[in-house]
Amino acid sequence: MRTASRVLIALMVVAGLVALGREAGGLVQSFIDRVAGLGFWAPLVYVIGYALAVAALIPGSLLTLAGGAIFGLARGLAYVFIAAVLGSTAGFLIARYFARGWVEQRIAGNPRFAAIDRAIAQDGLKITFLLRLSPVFPFSFLNYALGLTSVTLRDYLLASFGMLPGTLLYVYSGALLGDVAKVAGGAPPEGGSARLWVTALGLVATVAVTVVVTRTARRALDEATGGALEEPAQTPSPDES
């Protein structure tokens, strides 16, 4: 009975997430517009919505950019990171305790994930951290895939800090786009034009650093997996049914 109950729960969870992902995918822009006008409640609604989107396998790039545009660099980075950790942890726990069979079917026969799984068995924190710096799987699906590995929840959470370089890049870009949009709308730039140029130059520097970090992480992953990551990707799209 317990096994049958778990299977039933897994099917319900997966079906709910897939349905939510497909329905919510077209509502992201509407969500962003609503959040921007919520005032005091905007951060809480944004974090909850973002976390649900990650758990539902909805790509978060647009939401991350919106975080920078709505809240600015510092607050946007904080909110996006918190939301990403919550959403990714939800996916991890769902895969580990409820939807294991579904995730196993999605990654069955993938040599890259098999190599990563073996590497994680040797050093879960290091490999998971490197995957966050230079993911070889789509972010949302990676959260579920890691739920099948031997990495502990503690190490999984600590490795979440590897998301910061990429998150910073997107939030920084969103903040700059928000500033440019305000200027284009006729509003004077906050801090003057000089600040806008400094922000733009800062983005260029952030891109350069992120590229270096990502490439370094990828080389380290290649070494840890014996070059298995060079094989053609066979990861199914999270949107496939």
CA 99 to chain centre: 19
pLDDT computed for residue 208 by the predictor? 76
Asked whether residue 145 is domain-assigned, the answer is: yes
Asked whether residue 193 is domain-assigned, the answer is: yes
CA 145 to chain centre: 13
- For the cut 50, the answer to whether the pLDDT of residue 25 exceeds it is no
Asked whether residue 201 is domain-assigned, the answer is: yes
226 and 45 Cβ atoms separated by less than 8 Å: no
- For the cut 70, the answer to whether the pLDDT of residue 26 exceeds it is no
57 and 47 Cβ atoms separated by less than 8 Å: no
Asked whether residue 96 is domain-assigned, the answer is: yes
Asked whether residue 19 is domain-assigned, the answer is: yes
- DSSP letters, 93-147, are HHHHHT-HHHHHHHHTT-HHHHHHHHHHHH-HHHHHHHHHHS-SS-HHHHHHHHT
pLDDT computed for residue 229 by the predictor? 63
CA distance 113 to 110: 6
pLDDT in tens, 64-91: 888 888 898 899 999 999 999 999 999 9
- Its pTM stands at 0.75
At residue 221 the predicted structure's pLDDT band, cuts being 50, 70 and 90, is confident
Angle ∠(101,140,22) on CA atoms, nearest 5 = 85
Residue 61 CB contacts under 8 Å (≥ 6 apart), including other chains: 170
- For the cut 70, the answer to whether the pLDDT of residue 17 exceeds it is no
- For the cut 80, the answer to whether the pLDDT of residue 168 exceeds it is yes
- For the cut 60, the answer to whether the pLDDT of residue 93 exceeds it is yes
What is the total count of domains within the chain?
A: 1
Which 8-state DSSP code applies to residue 1? Answer: -
9 compared with 160, residue with greater pLDDT: 160
Asked whether residue 62 is domain-assigned, the answer is: yes
- Residues of the domain holding 105: 2-230
Asked whether residue 236 is domain-assigned, the answer is: no
At residue 52 the predicted structure's pLDDT band, cuts being 50, 70 and 90, is very high
φ/ψ of 186, rounded to 5, equals 105, -5
Report the sign of the C-alpha dihedral through residues 97, 99, 100, 101, in that order: positive
At residue 39 the predicted structure's pLDDT band, cuts being 50, 70 and 90, is confident
pLDDT computed for residue 241 by the predictor? 31
CA distance 123 to 155: 10
pLDDT computed for residue 78 by the predictor? 96
Element (H, E) at 227: none
pLDDT in tens, 108-167: 777 778 888 888 988 889 999 999 988 677 788 889 989 988 899 999 999 999 999 989
Asked whether residue 170 is domain-assigned, the answer is: yes
Q: Quote the mean pLDDT of the chain.
A: 76
Report which residue type is found at 38.
L
CA distance 71 to 36: 9
Task: Find which of 41-45, 140-144, 177-181, 232-236 is predicted with most confidence, using mean pLDDT.
Answer: 41-45
Q: Residue 226: which of 132, 103, 111, 144 has the closest Cα?
A: 111
At residue 18 the predicted structure's pLDDT band, cuts being 50, 70 and 90, is very low
